[in-house]
Structure formats: C-alpha cells, structure tokens
Structure 1
Amino acid sequence: MTAFVLVPGAWLGAWAWDEVAAELRAAGHEAHPLTLTGLAEKRDLPAGQRTHVDDIVAEVDRLGSDDVVLVGHSYSGIPVGQAAQRIGNRLRRVVFVDAGVPAHGESFASAWWQGQPAFEAELAAHGGDWAPITAPECAGQDLTDDRIAHFLAGATPHPGASLTEPAVVTGSLADLPATYVKCLLDGEEPTPDVAALLKSDSWRLVEMETGHWPMFSRPRELAAVLMEQVSGRTP
C-alpha cells in the first residue's frame, strides 16, 4: 500500500485534494492531503518557504513509511522539491503537477513571469499576502462555473514570505525519481528548467488535456496518473 502525500498550491488547503484522495483510497492506497502553514485552517500562523519544507518533511516522518509518493501542485513544487532531497530514499517517487521546481537561491517570486519586484509590489498592496485568484483568471482552464465557485470559496491569501524566501537546493534535482505532469491548457511546453530536468533518465513527462488545477477539473484522471506512477506502467 503506497502512501500519497498531497501538497496543494497557492491559496489552497488539504481540502483541494478531496476528490483525488477519495479515488486513491478507493483503490486501496493511503492518501494524506496536507495543509501548509499559513493557509486554510492554518491561516493565522506565520510561514515562510522553509516552514513549508518543514511541514512536508514532518508529514512524511509522521507516516513512518518507506513507500511514499510525494505530490506537489503549482507553488508547492518548490518546497516539495527541497523536502524530497531531505527525505531521500523513503520516497518511491515525486510528482510535480504543473508545478514550479526549486533552484538554489531563487524564490517563487524571482521565477515569476513579471519578476520579483513586480511580485513584491503586489504582495505589499495586499498586506504582505498574495491575494487569491479571481473567477475571470480561471477562464480557459477546463473548470465549470460550479468548480470555480468551489475553488474560490475555499481559497485564502497565501503568505508572502513563502513566495519571496529563496530555495535551498543541496544536490541535483535530476537525481530524484520524478514525474512531471504538464497540464496543456496552461501552456503546451514545460518551462526551460523543467525541460532540462526531463532529460534525466530519472524523470518522466505525463501530459493532461486540462487546465492548471486538475484536482478540480479532472480529479479521477489525475488520481489515475498518480497511481500509474507506482504500478510499473507508463501512462
């Protein structure tokens, strides 16, 4: 029985994985969705990126399993990648779902398409947090109106310090046993840093015909992709 640790992206808590977790459990696996500090029910707690790395490592330690698949969506790929290096061979695989990957000394904000100064200005305008996305920004991402409403109803501001704190990468991410899930409605090609990692024999690419939030738009298909990573089959 594989234990899946499911880490949500910006603005989201463990609740975002409810449907995916149900599919994994129905197939006989363990599913452990994780709310990062400073979000959802942990909204009132201060958090930086190192806090989020520690959250993830602590959850894997709590499980005490050496058969873990660690899954990170969007923003959480950055702390997930760092946590994976600390956890080591207790992980069967790391899955990055349309996610960022960490680079030593770089932050989520510095890799953002408008650059860190613009991102920091946006944070300052919202009390130091990253304000949740709005409904118009969800357009074209394979989400029904009901799914968008569900997403936005649970979204909370994301702690800005976790977005501006630089990553600490201690080795080559190319050595991780990893899968990258590219959601094609959010861009047809992986970013250059991900494309470079995908040249490693340890990395696989899986494409999904959906938007950036497949846990809402295609939860059953995403669960199937996750399970395929431990079945020995290539999707």
Structure 2
Amino acid sequence: MAILLVPGFWLGAWAWDDVAEELRRRGDDVRALTLPGLDPADPRRLEVTLRQQAEAIVEAASEPTVLVSHSGAAAPAYLATDLAPHRFSHAIYVDAAPLPNGFVLIPQLPAASRELPLADWPELEAAGNSLLGLDEAALRRFRERAVSEPASIATAPLELSDSPARLDIPTTIICNSFSAALVRQLRDEGSEPLFAELTRLRADYVDLPTGHWPMWSRPVELAELIHTIAAH
C-alpha cells in the first residue's frame, strides 16, 4: 500500500523524515511531498493556489494511496480527495480534520501581506498550537527550515464540489493536542466549524497525546499508527 505524507504550514517533505524512515522499516511504500508554495527555491511560490496544491497531491498519489495530512495541509488534502476520490483508499488527518466548504484557515493577514511567517513560540501556543514534546533541537530545526506560508493559501476559502464521492473514503483522525473525546464532543455540538465536516464522514478517532507536531515529538508511535491504519 502506498502512503503519501503531506506536511502542514511552513513545512516541506523533510518534516516527515523520521516517520517515513519508521514506515519504510515496516515495509511500507512511502513518499513525502513538499507542497507547491513551500519550496523556497521557487520564485513564484507566493502565487500558488489551494487547487494547485491539491492537484500536486493527486499527481503524487498512485492508486490506491493512503493520504496522510498534518495541520493546515488538511485543506489541500481534502480538496484532493474531492478532485480524485478514486486515488485514495484512506485519508488520515494528523491533529487536523477535513474542512467544510468555504472554510478559511487564516481569515485575515495584515494589509498587503503576501505571506505568513512562522510566529514566535509563545504566539504559536497562544493560537492553540501546542509545542509539547519538542526539544530545543527540534525547535531550532523548525525555525531554521521553516518557509513562510503564502497568503494565497492561508487566506483562501476551500472550494469543494457537490460530489459525495469524497465522503465515502474511510477517514481516521489522529488526535494529538485535542483528545478524541473532545473532538467528538465538538463535532456533535456543532460549536467548532473546524470539525463540522466530520458529521458527514465515516471517521474513526485515535488518541496519540502530544503537541501539534507529533512527527517530531512521537515519530515512532505515529508511524506505527499510520502503518496499522494503512494495513486495514
């Protein structure tokens, strides 16, 4: 089974290195993807659209593929399952969820800003992005390798089709900074737009308690979960 790993905001394929290594040790066919707009060598990266990111995911996916997305990558990943549902046998969201039509990840940036840089650590945590489990080496690597997120991605509304095919893809939410019980509660209450789409999907919920970047804080356990889910 092919597994495609897609990192969230500010990250390239390198963010999955430890998890990818663990998956390959278990015999999985793994590829990690740097999304368009997150390659610092691309002079036009700030012009990239969510649809272009989704199309890159579709292009990278052999059939069938287990699609694993982290954090902000949930938007292009879910759009990819909308564009080509037949390519994906399972969708796994890591500390993230499939997003509803029209959802905007960052509703507003400063006027004329074309990109969203990685914030200071206290600001990140204040926004709900837990750094639990990250040591100084991980934080330093994150800071050194982070690429600012294009505003064209961060502030773009997700545009999904009316096709129900994506809703039939088996889905698993790996819950890190939010527990599975809390995600289910927020889903059922309807109080959190981030989880609204989960009412329409066949989703399972798995706990892996840690911070928002489990690929660094608990890579072995995350790889084992992904491997087990992909095998079923």
Q: Same fold (TM over 0.5)?
A: yes
- Alpha carbons 1:185, 1:212 under 8 Å: kept: no
Would you say 1:98 and 2:95 are equivalent positions?
yes
Q: CA RMSD in A?
A: 2.4
Letter in 1 for 2:104: S
Would you say 1:179 and 2:192 are equivalent positions?
no
Would you say 1:86 and 2:83 are equivalent positions?
yes
Deviation at 1:184, TM superposition (A): 3.0
- Alpha carbons 1:75, 1:100 under 8 Å: kept: no
Would you say 1:129 and 2:129 are equivalent positions?
no
**Any residues of structure 2 matched to 1:1-235 within 5 Å, and which?**
2-44=1-43, 45=45, 46-60=47-61, 65-109=62-106, 116=107, 119-121=108-110, 124=111, 127-136=113-122, 137=124, 140-170=131-161, 171-172=163-164, 174-184=167-177, 189-190=182-183, 192=187, 193=193, 195=195, 197-198=197-198, 202-232=202-232
For 2:18 and 2:180, the matched residues in 1 are separated by 24
Provide closer, same or farther for how the CA distance between residues 141 and 149 of structure 1 changes in structure 2, counting only shifts above 3 A.
same
Deviation at 1:201, TM superposition (A): 7.0
Deviation at 1:49, TM superposition (A): 1.2
List alignment gaps of at least 5 residues for structure 2: 188-192
- For the residue of structure 2 that corresponds to 1:40, the secondary structure is coil
- For the residue of structure 2 that corresponds to 1:36, the secondary structure is coil
- For the residue of structure 2 that corresponds to 1:9, the secondary structure is coil
Q: Whose RCO is larger (CA < 8 A, sep 6+)?
A: 2
Identical-pair percentage: 31
Provide closer, same or farther for how the CA distance between residues 21 and 38 of structure 1 changes in structure 2, counting only shifts above 3 A.
same
Deviation at 1:183, TM superposition (A): 0.6
- Alpha carbons 2:4, 2:68 under 8 Å: kept: yes
- Alpha carbons 2:131, 2:212 under 8 Å: kept: no
Provide closer, same or farther for how the CA distance between residues 14 and 30 of structure 1 changes in structure 2, counting only shifts above 3 A.
same
Letter in 2 for 1:230: A
User: What is the TM-score normalised by the length of structure 1?
Assistant: 0.82
- Alpha carbons 1:4, 1:68 under 8 Å: kept: yes
For 1:42 and 1:57, the matched residues in 2 are separated by 22
1:170-202 deviations in whole A, cap 9, x for unaligned? 234543211111113689722535655555672
For 1:50 and 1:106, the matched residues in 2 are separated by 14
For 2:76 and 2:136, the matched residues in 1 are separated by 31
Number of positions where the alignment pairs a residue of Structure 1 with one of Structure 2: 216
- Alpha carbons 2:48, 2:153 under 8 Å: kept: yes
Residue equivalent to 1:113:
none
For 1:22 and 1:147, the matched residues in 2 are separated by 17
User: What is the TM-score normalised by the length of structure 2?
Assistant: 0.83
Provide closer, same or farther for how the CA distance between residues 120 and 41 of structure 1 changes in structure 2, counting only shifts above 3 A.
closer
For 1:174 and 1:228, the matched residues in 2 are separated by 22
